[in-house]
Amino acid sequence: MAGSVNQTITSPRWLLAELTYSCPLQCPYCANPIDFASIKNELGTDDWLRVLSEARAMGAVQLGFSGGEPLTRQDLPILVKHARQLGYFSNLITSGYGMTEAKIVELKEAGLDHIQVSIQSPEKTLNDELAGTESFEHKKEVAHLVKKHGYPMVLCVVVHRKNIHQIREILDMATELGADYLEVANTQYYGWAHLNRDQLLPTKEQFEEAEAITQAYKETVKGKMKIYYVIPDFYEDRPKACMNGWGTTFLTIAPDGTALPCHSARELPGLVCPNVKDMSVYDIWHHSEAFNHFRGYEWMKEPCRSCPEKAKDFGGCHCQAYLLTGDMHNTDPACSLSPDRERVYEAIFKARNDSELGNVKPLIFRNPKNSKALA
């Protein structure tokens, strides 16, 4: 089932270092695995320093420090400093929770290139409700401090049915905070978001309106703020070229050292993901079963195998194929050619139903208690 071994393996360009699953927030669309609370044994500082060095030697150049909340790691400045010495372009992906001005200065001196702050909603009540913690005012303050200390400021807002009606306010907030980049990220339905999909997936009308507003706004801020608009592929005809192709560009290292071809891959049963405690990053990238599994086209079933578009989208997202059809080798049902396309319509129908009933289903928040109960 493994992909062709004869094809050229490109070098990783992007390393996502998920330093920890600890997080003071409880966002119900978190991309972390449902069973995060039972995953122990965080990598120590020395292992992380080695991982950064090995991945850099292979060509990785973009580096994201993520989590959980990466600020909970006390060794963050040491890792940032090492990344700078290696020549990475490094990004801290944070909720802002626990950030202080002193820390912002310390990380700048250590060589951090930019900071991405996430805000759940431009409105305090909803922000704090979605985050499961009172954090709104502090997040705004952090956004100001990020600017004040000369970082490019990237604001990230994850969009779903609870906040999509606030899209104008989201865009205005980004302008008001002086964001250099705004990521309007429609929720991708993995991990906790998959669990809460009926409660989070917008209707097609809501999505189309939000997209139109954002695209129009993009024109008005051209040259001042760059807007990345991440589409929700449930309303598309063709799947996304997930991860720019499996094992071609992206490498994620989870808090316990598990190496993942995409950050959701550990939820794929039957995929044995290697660990940096057992193998070098080079061997993981080139020789592990998991990273070779979906390389090339050999693994494909129909309709992908004979599809002229396979070189463009690589069959879409394997995690989505698994979550919607139970088999990660199936065509991603986000493609209208998928024989399982019905699964997408069902998801849309169930979400619309919850919406029409007045959003009756309660959100399941991402916290250790729920994680343990669900595992």
Cα distance from N-terminal residue to C-terminal residue, the chain: 29
Residue 187 binds other proteins, judged by CB under 8 A: no
Distance in Å, CB of 167 to other proteins, minimum: 20
Distance in Å, CB of 232 to other proteins, minimum: 18
Contact track, other proteins, 28-57, x by CB under 8 A? -----------------------------x
Tokens of 84: 């700078």
- Contact indicator for 54, 81 with CB cutoff of 8 Å: no
Q: 158, 156, 133, 322: which is closest to 242 by C-alpha? A: 322
Residue 154 binds other proteins, judged by CB under 8 A: yes
Residue 11 binds other proteins, judged by CB under 8 A: yes
Single residue of 22, 103, 111, 181 touching other proteins by CB under 8 A: 181
By CB under 8 A, the count of residues binding other proteins is 23
Residue 152 binds other proteins, judged by CB under 8 A: yes
Q: Residue 226 to residues 25, 153, 214: CA-CA distances in angstroms?
A: 27, 11, 11
Distance in Å, CB of 106 to other proteins, minimum: 20
Residue 58 binds other proteins, judged by CB under 8 A: yes
Distance in Å, CB of 364 to other proteins, minimum: 29
Stretch that binds other proteins, among 84-92, 210-218, 264-272, 298-306 (CB under 8 A): 84-92
Distance in Å, CB of 52 to other proteins, minimum: 15
- Contact indicator for 121, 130 with CB cutoff of 8 Å: yes
Residues binding other proteins (CB under 8 A): 11, 13-14, 57-59, 61-62, 87, 89, 91, 113-114, 116, 152, 154, 180-181, 183, 222-223, 226, 228
